[in-house]
Amino acid sequence: MVSPFDVLDLDEDADDADVERAYRDRVKEAHPDTGGSVEEFQLVRRAYRELADRNLDGAETNGTGTDPADIDLTEGEGTGSIRVEFLDYEVIADRGWDLADDDLFAKAADADLAPADHGRLLVEPDESLLEAAENRGFSWPFSCRGGACANCAVYLVEGELSQPANHILSEEHAERGFRLSCNGYPLSDELKVVFNVKHLPELDELRLPPGPFRRATTE
């Protein structure tokens, strides 16, 4: 069996910060979008999870011993975590805004929106964007979870999210900024995304029947 240290090209005395840095480098190399393969990508993710779990006591951490949901994103972030600012497309439609607005997220920040409609979250290196949202208590739309529909689609305003080959979105969709959150992994240190864009006309024929989407409730 291949050692996870060998997969990530690490010494066995590597600390958590070294593991996360090595993972960030290797996962980009191994991703199918950048010349790797699905098998290599899964091997790298598996190696990271094995090493990341070495010092855990059953709590989800971000390399600093802190639950990502408890991090103040205006103050800082955990090693290896990706900062994501999100906005619900329903808010944009309801307020007459447009996806192309340069100040879209500034408007959202000034609008005193509910945390489920506009906020920030951290994505850990081995999480897809959808997994990260769910793990932080948010309910984003999805259906197949396998890249075969547009129910989980998001619109990229800033940053880059991977788009595995041979999925349902066309090159034109990708060029316009659409990605799938169910199998999309951040490829940049920060992201701004609009989720719940599945009802846009250009995605209408790519949706499956409504799935288990419930708006998240916050206290």
The answer to whether residue 60 is domain-embedded is no
The structure tokens listed for 107 are 């408007």
Mark whether 107 and 140 lie in a shared domain. yes
Inside any domain, residue 20: yes
Domains: count for the chain: 2
Q: What are the tens digits of pLDDT across the range 1-32? A: 578 899 888 998 888 888 878 887 887 787 66
- In this structure, the answer to whether residues 194 and 124 fall within a common structural domain is yes
- Same domain as 139, residue 211: yes
208 or 75, greater pLDDT: 208
In this structure, the answer to whether residues 51 and 80 fall within a common structural domain is no
Query: Do residues 32 and 97 both lie within one domain?
Result: no
If asked whether residues 100 and 154 sit together in one domain, one would say yes
207 in any annotated domain: yes
* CA atoms 132, 134, 137, 139: torsion sign: positive
Same domain, residue pair 111 and 5? no
Q: Is residue 134 part of a domain?
A: yes
Q: Residue 4's domain is classified under what CATH number? A: 1.10.287.110
Domain extent for 33: 1-55
Domain boundary residue, one of 27, 55, 83:
55
27, 30, 129, 148, 170 from 35: Cα distances, Å: 11, 7, 21, 22, 19
65 in a domain, yes or no?
A: no
- Please check whether residues 50 and 111 belong to one and the same domain: no
Average pLDDT of the chain to the nearest whole number: 80
CATH of the domain at 196: 3.10.20.30
- First vs last C-alpha separation in the chain: 46
Residue 67 in domain: no
Question: Looking at residue 161, what DSSP letter applies?
Answer: B
Q: Are residues 88 and 139 in the same domain?
A: yes
Q: What is the pTM of this model?
A: 0.66
Shared domain for 124 and 219, answered yes or no, is yes
Could you tell me if 104 and 203 lie in one domain? yes
- Whether 130 and 196 have beta carbons less than 8 Å apart is answered as no
- Return d(Cα 97, Cα 118) in angstroms, integer: 14
Q: Residue 171: which residues within 8 A CB-CB, separation 6 or more?
A: none
Contacts of 20 (CB under 8 A, 6+ apart): 52, 63, 79, 80, 125
pLDDT tens-digit map of 132-186: 999 999 999 998 888 889 999 999 999 999 877 657 899 899 999 999 999 898 8
Model confidence at 62: pLDDT above 60: no
On whether residue 180 sits in a domain, the answer given is yes
Residue 88 shares a structural domain with residue 142? yes
Contacts of 101-108 with CB under 8 Å at 24 or more apart are: 104/157, 104/194, 105/157, 105/192
